Amino acid sequence: MRIEVLAVGTELLLGQIADTNAAWLGEQLASAGVDSHFHQAVGDNHARIVLALRTALARSEGVVVCGGLGPTHDDITRQAIAEVLGVPLRRDTVIAERIRAAFEAGGRRMPESNLRQADVPDGASTIAQRLGTAPGLVCPVGAKVVYALPGVPYEMMEMFTRGVLPDLRRRQVEAGGGGIIVSRVVRTWGMSESGLGELLAPRIEALDAGGGNPTIALLASGMEGIKVRITAKATEEAAAAALLQAEEEQVRALVGASVFGIDAQTMESAVADCLQVQGRTLGLAESLTGGLVASRLVAVPGASAWFRGSVVSYASEVKRDLLGVPPGPVVSAEAARAMADGARRVLGADIGLAVTGVAGPEPQDGRRPGTVFVAVVTGDAHPVGAELQLPGDRDRVRQYACTSALDLLRRHLSNPG
DSSP per-residue string spanning 228-277: EEEEEEESSHHHHHHHHHHHHHHHHHHHGGGEEEETT--HHHHHHHHHHH
Beta-strand pair 282-286/351-357: parallel
Q: Give the pLDDT confidence of 92-118 residue by residue, as tens digits.
A: 999 999 888 888 888 888 888 888 899
Q: What is the 3-state secondary structure (H, E, C) of 37-75?
A: CCEEEECCCHHHHHHHHHHHHHHCCEEEEECCCCCCCCC
Q: How far apart are CA 310 and CA 344, in angstroms?
A: 10
Q: How far apart are CA 318 and CA 325, in angstroms?
A: 9
Beta-strand pair 119-121/89-91: antiparallel
Q: What pLDDT is recorded for position 194?
A: 94
Q: How far apart are CA 365 and CA 268, in angstroms?
A: 30
At residue 248, what is the residue type?
Answer: E
User: Which residues are 371's β-sheet partners?
Assistant: 389
Q: How far apart are CA 19 and CA 23, in angstroms?
A: 7
Q: How far apart are CA 76 and CA 99, in angstroms?
A: 18
Q: What is the fold of 180-262?
A: Alpha-Beta Plaits (3.30.70)
381, pLDDT greater than 80: no
Cβ density class 371-388: b for 16+ within 10 Å, e for less? bbbbbbbbeeeebbbbeb
Task: Calculate mean pLDDT across residues 320-326.
Answer: 97
User: Closest Cα to residue 402, out of 293, 271, 282?
Assistant: 293
Give the 3-state secondary structure of residue 370: coil
Task: Calculate mean pLDDT across residues 381-407.
Answer: 95
Give the 3-state secondary structure of residue 207: helix
In terms of CATH, what superfamily is 270-414? CinA-like (3.90.950.20)
Looking at residue 164, the DSSP 8-state letter turns out to be: I
User: Closest Cα to residue 53, out of 6, 1, 12?
Assistant: 6
Q: What pLDDT is recorded for position 178?
A: 64
177, pLDDT greater than 70: no
Note if the bond before 214 is cis, omega within 30 degrees: yes
Give the 3-state secondary structure of residue 280: coil
Statement: the pTM of the whole predicted model exceeds 0.85: no
The domain locations on the chain are 3-174, 180-262, 270-414
User: Which residues are 138's β-sheet partners?
Assistant: 125, 147
Q: From the CB of residue 153, how many other CB atoms can be counted at a distance below 10 Å?
A: 12
Give the 3-state secondary structure of residue 399: helix
Q: Give the pLDDT confidence of 187-244 residue by residue, as tens digits.
A: 999 999 999 999 999 999 999 999 889 999 998 888 899 999 998 988 888 999 999 9
DSSP string covering 1-12 = -BEEEEEE-HHH
CATH 3.40.47.10 fits 3-174, yes or no: no
44, pLDDT greater than 80: yes
